[in-house]
Amino acid sequence: MSEMRWNPLLGEWVVTATHRQERTFLPPPDHCPLCPTKPGGFESEVPFPDYDVAVFENRFPTFFPAPPAPSVSATDLYAVRPAQGVCEVVLYTPRHDTTLAQLPLSQYAKLVRVWTDRYTELGNLPYVQYVLIFENKGEEIGVTLHHPHGQIYAFPFIPPVLEREIQQATAHEARTGRCLFCDILAEERTDGRRMVAENDGFAAFVPFFARWPYEVHIFSRRHIGAMPEFTAAECADFARILKTVL
């Protein structure tokens, strides 16, 4: 059972995904579904003896390219939509016992290429409104597999926090004629106290309004929208600053 249910109190979609309860939970290292499949060994999600970076569709997705029909009918108050979207898994390395932070810079450069490719392809799907590339870290927030990996969610709607950022940026531009993100970056660079790292293409800082411990934002220094607009130099700069921050 998987569908989108409208929450009229908050004005946002909730995605129900009861089948995800059955997903693999903290398997022993020799039964990791994200390791390469060794000849004669345990058959993982990756049917190859080795890989560099790998991407595949999540076997326990929240969204489906061909979603099941909703299990309930909509009413005037409670809208219902099929959970159409895409959920992918990105494997950073075939090595089980490492983390993104420990990987060499060359692997980050490959990941930037992979992320850009997936962002472009998924973003072009007619039913996709937003592509979120992310990594959850720690069993506390629900990580069920220790193999270094991230995820990509191609949403059929703009997630609420992002929608608010867009509203704020639109209002800021209407009021000042300027880009909110460029203004935040300029203010942080002028103040300087919260800057963490900087190169030609990007700046990393703990924003004035940080809420979480270790909250770091990385902004492009050029006024651009998303990864497909990165120049080759910016791809390299982004890989470098990500490695520095992590």
Could you give the C-alpha distances from 89 to 129, 178, 193, in angstroms and in order? 19, 37, 36
Site string for Zn ion, 35-64 (x = CB under 5 A): x-----------------------------
The edge-to-edge listing of strands for the beta sheet with 202-205 is 195-198, 202-205, 217-220
Amino acid at 95: R
CB atoms under 10 Å from CB of 229, counted, come to 12
Contact flag: residue 182 with Zn ion (CB under 5 A)? yes
Q: Is 125 in the site for Zn ion (CB under 5 A)?
A: no
Q: How far is the CB of 127 from Zn ion (least distance, A)?
A: 28
Residues 67-96, one symbol each (x = binds Zn ion by CB under 5 A, - = not), give -----------------------------x
Please pick, among 31, 149, 217, 223, the residue that the annotation labels catalytic.
149
In this chain, which of 24, 181, 197, 198 binds Zn ion, going by CB under 5 A?
181
Radius of gyration of the chain (CA): 20
Among 93, 94, 74, smallest CA distance to 82 is for 74
Nearest to 51 by CA among 101, 7, 107, 11: 107
E-strand ranges in 105-194 read 130-134, 149-155
Tokens of 8: 């009229």
Q: Is 149 a catalytic residue?
A: yes
Q: Which is nearer to Zn ion, 28 or 126 (CB)?
A: 28
What is the nearest approach in angstroms of Zn ion to the Cβ of residue 22? 20
Q: Build a one-symbol-per-residue string for 205-234: x at contacts with Zn ion by CB under 5 A, - elsewhere.
A: ------------------x-----------
Q: Summarize as ranges the residues that interact with Zn ion (CB under 5 A).
A: 32, 34-35, 96, 147, 179, 181-182, 223
Q: Which residues are annotated as catalytic?
A: 149
